[in-house]
Amino acid sequence: MHEWLANASVAELAWLLREGDRHPSAGMHAERMAQAIVDDQDRHGPCMSARRFADVIEEVMSNIHGVEGRQRASHPATGVIGLFRAFLNQEVEHLRAGLAAAFRRLRPGGRCVVACARPQDHEEVRRFLMEHEAPSPEITERLPSPRRRLELFPLAGTDLDYSV
């Protein structure tokens, strides 16, 4: 991670931080964190330790949230480190590929159980399910326009032999 972090720009870091945080104020927080990370590396060289990285994030978060920001169950950098790890390891892409592979292997009427530990994974599973949902006969009847059905049910535009 340190090699990627050493070469990442403020814009790249801010984009990733915004993508990982759906909170309305995420944009400004992301910019502040990204700038702090780059500034720290400009002053002290590439960030080679998790402790130093965590300290930078903690300082930014305490400035954003004040004293109560320090009263958290986990360290403020935990989520950021997890976000960077997921991005670098392409965890979302692997999850999507795994879901597609699992559904291709199911027999008609089969079931698939997915357990998610992170909210981002839960959201990605929901997105996958919505993208692979077939419209019911009632919805098909109610939406006679093929274009509108395709907008609401993207699976209709594929040649996949499964739906969820």
Quick check: pTM over 0.85? Answer: no
In the predicted structure, residue 23 carries a pLDDT above the cut 80: no
Better-scored residue on pLDDT, 64 or 151? 151
Contact present, 157 and 133 (Cβ < 8 Å):
no
Asked whether the CA dihedral 150, 155, 161, 164 is positive or negative, the reply is negative
Cβ atoms of 132 and 160 within 8 Å: the answer is yes
So what's the pLDDT on residue 66?
A: 62
Ranges of each domain in the chain: 2-88, 91-157
The tokens describing 70, both together, are 């320090």
Instruction: Return the beta strands (E) in the chain as ranges.
Output: none
d(C-alpha 19, C-alpha 27), whole Å: 9
- 162 in Cβ contact with 132 (< 8 Å): yes
Q: Does residue 72 carry a pLDDT above 70?
A: no
DSSP-based three-state secondary structure for 12 = helix
**Residue 88, pLDDT above cutoff 90:** yes
In this model, does residue 94 exceed pLDDT 90? yes
The residue that leads in pLDDT, 67 or 38, is 38
Structural contact between residues 54 and 77, judged by C-beta atoms closer than 8 angstroms:
yes
